[in-house]
Each structure stands twice: as C-alpha cells, then as structure tokens.
Amino acid sequence: MNRLAVYALIIAVSGTLVFWGVSRMALAVGWGCGIGMGLLHFYSLRYGIERIQKQTAAGKTAATGTISRLFFIRYVVLAGAFFLILSFGPDELGSAVGGFLAFYVVLLFDHLFGRRRSP
C-alpha cells in the first residue's frame, strides 16, 4: 500500500471512530465518502498529469481539447458525487466536504513537512 492510501485509511478510521463515539454514524459515512472522493480525485489528477508528461516526453503535443474535456468531466463527476451525498442530508454533505478537505490538508502537510525525497 502506498503512502497516500495509508494516510486516507488513517484519516477515515480516526474520523469514523470520533463520529461513532458521539453516536453520529451518518456523519461517519459522509466522512468516509469524502476521504474516498479525495483519494480518487487525487489519483485522477495524477494520472492526467503523468499522461501529459508522457506525451510531451514522446514529442507529441498534448491536445488542449482532451485536457479540458477530462478536467471538466472530473469536476462534474465530483460535483455529482457531492450532490448525491447531499440527497442523504446536509449533515452528511458537511461531513463529506470536511473529509475531502482533511485529506488534502494532510497531503499539504506531507508535502511541506515530510521527509525530503531525493530527485
């Protein structure tokens, strides 16, 4: 398991335990969904960037229309997922947004304060 998946698992389990401890299972489900969406969003962004880098390294120009279309599709799917969670209730939506943001805050801290990797 890579480092990001471990971070996501730790955040999801800790948030779920906190919400379960205060008897708010609906919030725990929203939190887990938010973490999962953050992880999938990050991997889709990384895949897109790696694809563009491979095309550029091979001497091909990245098609601007394809990049824009994939960018648009990614965020429409993300908005649809948050809307689906909203259909369960506003508490779940708030929890999902919190989980999504918590995942990215942990990634930011990992980037800023993590061990320096050799190039």
At residue 65, what is the residue type?
G
pLDDT of 118: 46
Considering the entire predicted model, what is its pTM? 0.79
pLDDT of 1: 58
Domain spans in the chain, listed from the N-terminal domain onward: 3-113
The CA distance from 74 to 44, in Å, is: 8
Q: What is the DSSP string of 7-67?
A: HHHHHHHHHHHHHHHTT-HHHHHHHHHHHHHHHHHHHHHHHHHHHHHHHHHTTPPPPHHHH
CB 109 within 8 A of CB 13: no
What confidence tens digit (pLDDT) does each residue in 5-56 have? 888 888 888 888 888 888 888 888 888 899 989 988 988 888 888 888 888 8
Banded model confidence at residue 101, pLDDT cuts 50, 70, 90: very high
